[in-house]
Structure 1
Amino acid sequence: MTATPTTTQPSPDDDFLRLDRQICFSLHAASRAFGGVYRVVLKDLGLTYPQYLVMLVLWERGPLPVKDLGEALRLDSGTLSPLLKRLETAGLLRRERSTRDERSVHIHLTEEGAGMREPARAVPRRIAAATGCDLQEISDLRDRLDALTRRLDEADLTSPATA
């Protein structure tokens, strides 16, 4: 005996279940597209995108404890540690245990790592050009994404969903 498929009327909520209606998928697709562009642009520097992010923070803030670096990049230590090890092996940074607190490790740029800052200055302009957006559009989009991130971080997911 074969089961007959049941036909149900589409509900208005069904439209929200379409892939092309998911903001998370649009952000995911944009992130993957950015990843492809960064892969090409960062090739000359010999960096991956996550490595580039580490270098950006260190160029901007100087030596940092691993904990602070992880917070700035929103990365946990399990993700950050192998990344730092690869950058250290490449001679771009060094890790030093704190003399005041043995549990704390500080990250310092090497001379070679600090010297990469100048050639990296071209990266943001190349990325901006690849977007096809002007600088104001990029700034506005970044501000909106930052605000979205803050709202998601603060979201009360224990309350029932409202439409």
Structure 2
Amino acid sequence: MIENQDTPKLSDQLCFPFYVIAKEITGMYRPFLEELDITYSQYLVMMVLWEYERLTVNQIGEKLYLDSGTLTPLLKRLEAKSYIIRHRKKEDERVVEVFLTEEGNQLQKKACIIPGKMQEKLNLSENDLLEMKETVTKLMQIIEK
């Protein structure tokens, strides 16, 4: 193993631009999500449920890379807003299922405009966005191995 004795420089790090981009893009979503009265994390949960309709807490956690300790408070807040219902499976009470309410389905209709608004705000072409997503997805797959 070759050791590098130089002090690490922020400008040389791959992690820093990802950190900044994540923080800034999340902030760009804020005004759109405030209109829906949800946070970015809640929006992620809702997107997964809009796609799959009914999932267990563990399945949502796997899809969002969140542990149940982080996910449970998010789900409780979404349930308090009447967007979801959580219930324990009769066959196995350790398993909690989550599904959308009618209000949760109505929220989906309002949220459909957000991706277009974000693309407009970022001022990137469809092709630019696809290329970036492919590159980042490839990196995620490498990290997951």
Give the TM-score of the pair, scaled to structure 1: 0.84
- What amino acid does structure 1 have at the position aligned with 2:46? M
Q: Once the 2 structures are TM-superposed, how far is the Cα of residue 83 of structure 1 from its aligned partner? A: 0.4
1:70-149 equivalences under 5 Å are 70-149=61-140
Of 132, 135, 153, the residue aligned with 2:144 is 153
Match for residue 28 of structure 1?
19
Identity among equivalent pairs (%): 37
User: Structure 1 CA distance, aligned partners of 2:54 and 2:90?
Assistant: 15
User: Structure 2 CA distance, aligned partners of 1:90 and 1:53?
Assistant: 16
1:1-80 equivalences under 5 Å are 14=6, 17-80=8-71
| Aligned length, in residue pairs | 143
Runs (5+) with no aligned partner, structure 2: none
User: Structure 1 CA distance, aligned partners of 2:70 and 2:123?
Assistant: 32
| Residues 71-122 of structure 1: per-residue CA shift (max 9 Å, x gap) | 0111000000000000001111010110111100000111101111111010
User: Structure 2 CA distance, aligned partners of 1:44 and 1:132?
Assistant: 22
2:99 counterpart SS class: strand
Q: Once the 2 structures are TM-superposed, how far is the Cα of residue 131 of structure 1 from its aligned partner? A: 1.4
2:86 counterpart SS class: strand
Moved runs in structure 1, 4+ residues, more than 2 A? 12-15
User: Structure 2 CA distance, aligned partners of 1:46 and 1:13?
Assistant: 49
**Over aligned residues, Cα RMSD in angstroms?**
1.5
